[in-house]
Amino acid sequence: MRTQVAIVGAGPAGLLLSRLLHCAGIESVLLENRSRAEIESTIRAGVLEHGTVDLMNSIGAGERLEREGFVHNGIYLRFDGRDRHIDFPDLTGGKAIRVYAQHEVIKDLVALRLASSSDIRFEVKDVTLQDLDTSSPKLRFRDGEQEFRIKCDFIAGCDGTHGVCRTSIPSARRATYDRTYPFGWFGILCRAPPSSHELIYALHERGFALVSTRSSSIQRMYFQCDPVDQVSNWSDDRIWAEFRSRLATIDGWAPKEGPIFDKVIVGMRSVVTEPMQYGRLFLAGDAAHVVPPTGAKGLNLAAADVRVLARALQAFYASGSSELLDRYSSTALRRVWKAQRFSWWMTSMLHRFPGTDSFQHRVQLAELDYVTSSRAAATALAENYVGLPFEV
């Protein structure tokens, strides 16, 4: 087999890149080790930055997003039993976010890939990368009982934290910066009407809580927990009691409750691999970096990565210049580290760290009070949340 770009991984990064390349007339083959049903049903993040929405629309993937996605013009920061609103359009010149689940994004992008008759292969096995430091990199993989070899110009590693692409870069040529947080998120999906028209980020003495939404009838909610806790320890009654406690307000607000049909404990890490390229291999999305979910940056960083990479590949095929490709890593990492900083800041402001005392809790309250009473501080939060300008 021969193609221009081989893409490993059909998550948001791989699918977005494949669509961007298709729109530019660049051939690609997309390989995924999971089934189509699995990638289209895995529940993940649902907050899309302003720029990510624009990108989806620009590649013809925004029709259902525009129809079904929820426009959020801000978030609520809840502390001391009161809500303070961060008004995104007022602070950012009219920008907002959309709440549209990641698996719905994937459904839309898979449908476009199949409709274009572009090569996408699910449930492939034994993917290996070869000759990355030459002008003719190669991949080997097994599809059913057959073994295949792809010759290509470039390989895009979009296969996540447990994929083969990142570890195909020699260990002496890559550095990993990481932090594991001493808490996780206990997440639920429930059948209930929305508890709020916008997300609620709450700080409580017992820890963080988040009220989100997925649709008019399905809601997503989280609270901070011990990362080694077990889902089986939490009955529905105990879960709702915890949410009521952490989300309580002085005016008696309470979440809308309903049958819980999914429970999960999510660990939290910050990870960055540098550089994001080696020879003709380019990493994007979770293959290169992971952020804690507090800042809602995971999917959006993947979109930012592939926007930079697609533009660099377009320049190469149009003019033969590798200038943009040569600085892909440095360009992408500027945004990655800014997102890591924002996610760390949001996490540290809203979570109770083990071993901290009442002094630290009062500092957090003061930080939240400052952020919600200073226009400059609120603007900094809003600008980061709706998405910083794309790097060039």
Establish whether 297 is a catalytic residue.
yes
Establish whether 293 is a catalytic residue.
yes
Establish whether 197 is a catalytic residue.
no
What burial class does residue 144 get, using C-beta atoms within 10 Å of its C-beta: 0-12 exposed, 13-18 middle, 19+ buried? exposed
Phi first, then psi: give them for residue 354, nearest 5 degrees.
-55, 135
Establish whether 227 is a catalytic residue.
no
What is the spatial distance between Cα 64 and Cα 128, in angstroms, rounded to a whole number? 36
Q: Which is catalytic among the residues 22, 138, 204, 297?
A: 297
Q: Which is catalytic among the residues 72, 204, 289, 351?
A: 72
Give the other-Cβ count within 10 Å of 344's Cβ: 17
User: Residues of 268-282 as b/e, b for ≥16 C-beta within 10 angstroms?
Assistant: bebbbbbbbbbbbbb
Contact residues for 12 (Cβ-Cβ < 8 A; gap 6+): 102, 105, 106, 109, 285, 299, 302, 303
Strands ordered across the beta sheet of 97-99: 47-48, 97-99, 70-72
Q: Which is catalytic among the residues 76, 181, 201, 222?
A: 201
User: Residues of 223-261 as b/e, b for ≥16 C-beta within 10 angstroms?
Assistant: bbbebeeeeeebeeeebbebbeebbbeeeebebebbebe
Establish whether 72 is a catalytic residue.
yes
User: Locate tokens 């200038």: which residue?
Assistant: 323
The two tokens of residue 376 are 């400059």
What is the spatial distance between Cα 246 and Cα 263, in angstroms, rounded to a whole number? 18
Q: Which is catalytic among the residues 103, 204, 293, 328?
A: 293
Catalytic residue list: 72, 201, 293, 297, 385
